């Protein structure tokens, strides 16, 4: 991989690491090494890097800011593209905003509020990037991205670049076409509405205060671990089983919110996966409900 890393560096694609521990790039602070980690400086260099990796017949995958992600302890073979600061443009025009895939969802929500645009308040606590949010149709507080996305520009594995609307992206609860067809979000355009700045700020502040009181944001975690089953909440079911605070290795079901697993220090991906299965089995035995993780698991054990 070193010669390919050198080729990418000479082409000026951006930052390139060999055998880089992905624990340094995930909010859980967990994950083995990527053979090759590439953080392009802009969209054009990302496309060039994908073409280079494709030419060398190297398998690849993509991460954003590392939330909602568990990388197994063996790491990831091949190349990993980190879509971050390099794709972080943001342009408002009327009631629409075009934003790069690496832009922070929290920052975007705040900026929209300052512009007096409403519709993104639900996303004020989503810690990841725009690209990752589109990939999983991220949502909270009864809403999700499918309701405000006008279109997204996608680079597919075969090199095709397509601009797709919400219907074409086949959004459903925490899923999209991109979980079936491999691609990288380059940018997204959201359609918002005019609103009252003070009211928007009030909603964002209330949601932020609620998260601070109920979620373990001061500890390494990945956000909610399980999707909510129809008509219920995963956290309520796990808590009802008496599992708050339950530990396996360095991983713990949060004492603040049972749908969060935190890294108490030194947790491995195996610890987290074992704890996930323990919680699933316990809830299934107690309530007959099968919880489905919404965390993306990548890599080798």
Q: What is the pLDDT of residues 207-266, one digit of tens each?
A: 888 888 989 989 999 999 999 999 999 999 999 999 999 999 999 999 999 999 999 999
64 and 112 part of one domain: no
The values of phi and psi at residue 39, to 5°, are: -120, 95
State the pLDDT at residue 16.
97
Looking at residue 59, what is its pLDDT? 95
From first CA to last CA, the distance across the chain in angstroms is: 21
Report whether 131 contacts 40 (CB < 8 A): no
5 — phi, psi (to 5°)? -60, -40
Phi, psi of 111 (to 5 degrees): -65, -40
Question: What is the predicted pLDDT for the residue at 228?
Answer: 93
Task: Report the alpha-carbon distance of residue 34 to residue 103 in Å, rounded.
Answer: 23
In this structure, of 119-123, 190-194, 239-243, the range with the lowest mean pLDDT score is 119-123
Q: How many folded domains does the chain comprise? A: 3
Mean pLDDT of 55-59: 94
The answer as to whether 212 is a domain residue is no
Higher model confidence: residue 124 or residue 100?
A: 100
Is 208 inside a domain boundary?
no
Q: Which of residues 3 and 126 earns the better pLDDT score? A: 3
Residue 211 lies in a domain: no
Same domain, 64 and 128: no
CATH number, domain with residue 42: 3.30.43.10
> Same domain, yes or no, for 238 and 271?
yes
Q: Which residues are catalytic?
A: 174, 224, 294
| Residues 73 and 163 both lie in one domain | no
Span 129-153, pLDDT tens digits? 999 999 999 888 788 999 999 999 9
Determine the average pLDDT of the residues in 50-69. Answer: 93
With 0-12 CB in 10 A as exposed, 13-18 as middle and 19+ as buried, what is 101? buried
Domain boundary among 29, 53, 85: 85
pLDDT value at position 85? 85
Last-in-domain residue among 168, 199, 230: 199
Residue labelled with tokens 């009252």: 196
- Residues 292, 195 share a domain: no
Tell whether 32 is covered by a domain: yes
Mean pLDDT across the chain: 94
> Looking at residue 20, what is its pLDDT?
98
Q: Which helix (H) or strand (E) holds 81?
A: strand 76-82
Residue 128: pLDDT band (50, 70, 90) is confident
List the structure tokens of 204. Answer: 């964002």
Q: What phi, psi does 75 have (nearest 5°)?
A: 85, -165
What's the whole-model pTM score?
0.90
Q: Which helix (H) or strand (E) holds 194?
A: strand 193-194
Of residues 122 and 274, more confidently modeled: 274
Q: How confident is the model at residue 79 (pLDDT cuts 50, 70, 90)?
A: very high
Does any domain span residue 204?
Answer: no
Instruction: Identify whether 206 is part of a domain.
Output: no
Residue where a domain stops, chosen among 85, 104, 134: 85
Among residues of the chain, what percentage have pLDDT more than 90?
86
- Per-residue model confidence (pLDDT) at position 212: 87
221 to 28, 254, 273: CA distances (angstroms): 4, 9, 13
Burial of 227 (0-12, 13-18, 19+ CB in 10 A): middle
Please list, residue by residue across 23-34, b when 16 or more beta carbons sit within 10 angstroms of its beta carbon and e when fewer do: bebbbbbbbbbb
- CATH number for the domain spanning 277: value is 3.90.78.10
Domain holding 21, by residue range, is: 2-85
Q: Is residue 148 part of a domain?
A: yes
Q: State the pLDDT at residue 157.
A: 85
Whether the Cβ atoms of residue 125 and residue 110 lie closer than 8 Å to each other: no
In a domain, 102, yes or no: yes
Distances (CA, A) of 18 to 97, 112, 139: 36, 38, 34
What is the predicted pLDDT for the residue at 209? 87
Q: Are residues 27 and 46 in the same domain?
A: yes
pLDDT band at residue 23 under the 50/70/90 scheme: very high
């Amino acid at each position: 991989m070193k010669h390919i890393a050198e080729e990418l560096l000479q082409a000026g694609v951006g930052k390139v690491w060999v055998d880089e521990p992905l624990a340094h790039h995930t909010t859980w602070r967990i994950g083995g090494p990527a053979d090759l980690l590439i953080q392009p400086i802009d969209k054009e260099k990302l496309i060039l890097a994908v073409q280079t990796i494709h030419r060398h017949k190297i398998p690849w995958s993509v991460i954003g800011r590392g939330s909602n992600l568990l990388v197994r302890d063996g790491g990831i073979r091949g190349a990993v593209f980190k879509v971050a600061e390099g794709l972080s443009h943001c342009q408002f025009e009327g009631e629409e905003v075009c934003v790069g895939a690496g832009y922070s969802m929290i920052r975007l929500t705040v900026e929209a509020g300052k512009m007096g645009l409403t519709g993104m308040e639900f996303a004020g606590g989503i810690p990841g990037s725009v690209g990752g949010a589109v990939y999983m149709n991220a949502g909270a507080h009864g809403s999700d991205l499918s309701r405000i996305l006008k279109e997204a520009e996608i680079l597919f594995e075969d090199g095709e670049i397509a601009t797709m609307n919400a219907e074409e992206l086949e959004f459903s609860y925490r899923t999209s076409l991109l979980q079936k067809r491999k691609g990288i979000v380059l940018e997204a355009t959201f359609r918002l509405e005019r609103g009252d700045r003070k009211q928007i700020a009030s909603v964002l502040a209330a949601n932020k205060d609620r998260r601070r009181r109920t979620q373990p944001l001061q500890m390494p975690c990945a956000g909610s671990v399980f999707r909510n089953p129809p008509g219920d909440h995963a956290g309520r079911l796990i808590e009802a089983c008496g599992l708050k605070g339950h530990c396996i290795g360095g991983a713990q079901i949060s004492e603040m919110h049972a749908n969060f697993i935190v890294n108490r220090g030194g947790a491995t991906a195996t610890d987290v996966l074992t704890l996930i299965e323990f919680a699933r089995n316990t809830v299934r035995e107690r309530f007959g409900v099968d919880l489905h993780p919404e965390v993306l698991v990548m890599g080798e054990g």
